[in-house]
Amino acid sequence: MSSSTSINANGVSEPFAAESVPLEAFSQGERFGSSFRHLSNFAGGDHVGVALEELAPGKESNPSHYHMLEEEHAYILEGALTLRLGARAYVMKAGDYVCFPAGQKVGHSLFNHTNEPCRYLIIGERDPNDVIVYPDSGRVSVRLTGEGYRKAATMDYWEGIDTTAAGTATPAAHPQE
The tens digit of pLDDT for each residue in 108-160 reads 999 999 999 999 999 999 999 999 999 999 999 999 999 999 988 887 888 88
pTM over 0.75: yes
Is residue 163 domain-resident? no
Q: Is residue 133 part of a domain?
A: no
SS3 18: helix
What CATH number does residue 38 fall under? 2.60.120.10
Mean pLDDT of 81-95: 98
Q: What's the number of CA atoms in the CB half-sphere (13 Å) around residue 19?
A: 0
Q: Which of 70, 74, 88 is nearest to 118 (CA)?
A: 74
Judged against a pLDDT cut of 70, whether residue 7 lies above it is answered with: yes
With 80 as the cut, is the pLDDT of residue 176 above it? no
Above pLDDT 70, what percent of the chain? Answer: 92
In contact, 148 and 139? CB cutoff 8 Å: yes
Asked if the structure places residue 169 within a domain, the reply is no
170 in a domain, yes or no? no
Please give the tally of structural domains in the chain.
1
Residue 133 C-alpha from the chain's centroid: 10
In this structure, is residue 31 part of a structural domain? yes
Q: Residue 42 has what pLDDT?
A: 94
Residue 91 lies in domain: 18-127
Mean pLDDT of 161-176: 65
In a domain, 47, yes or no: yes
